[in-house]
């Protein structure tokens, strides 16, 4: 019996070095991956918070300034009040994080 050699390269340190021009670039990709995971966790937490807000009967989506138009075959909903509230809350959060980091 003859043994076939694998055509796929082994993923070791020398192969990883050949993927990137420098170790700094490889470290940058690692940081980008960590940032993506952090953003994903943040989105899951925000989604869970919105689901809990719906259970607690908070009026998100029914605030003053919401535009809803229902026709025979088309329904249009523009959440201006909710969007404004979300923008205000996010602006406060980012301002707080900026001051905390500074």
Q: What is the pLDDT of residues 60-87, one digit of tens each?
A: 778 888 888 999 999 999 999 989 988 9
For residue 32, the model assigns a pLDDT of 85
For residue 6, the model assigns a pLDDT of 54
Is the pLDDT at 26 greater than 90? The verdict is no
Residues 38 and 54 sit within 8 Å (Cβ to Cβ): no
Percent of the chain at pLDDT > 90 equals 25
Residue 17 binned pLDDT confidence (cut-offs 50, 70, 90): low
Is the pLDDT at 92 greater than 90? The verdict is yes
List the Cα angle 62/66/69 in 5-degree steps. 105
Is the pLDDT at 54 greater than 90? The verdict is no
What's the rounded Cα separation, in Å, for the pair 32 and 21?
A: 17
For residue 31, the model assigns a pLDDT of 84
Sketch the domain layout of the chain as residue ranges: 10-58, 59-102
């Amino acid at each position: 019996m003859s043994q076939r050699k694998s055509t796929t390269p082994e993923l070791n340190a020398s192969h990883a070095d050949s993927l990137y021009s420098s170790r700094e670039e490889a470290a940058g990709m690692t940081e980008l991956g960590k940032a993506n995971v952090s953003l994903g966790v943040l989105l899951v937490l925000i989604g869970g918070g919105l689901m809990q807000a719906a259970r607690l009967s908070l009026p998100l989506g029914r605030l003053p300034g919401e535009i809803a138009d229902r026709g025979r075959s088309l329904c249009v909903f523009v959440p201006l009040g909710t969007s404004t509230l979300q923008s205000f809350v996010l602006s406060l959060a980012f301002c707080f994080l900026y001051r905390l980091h500074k």
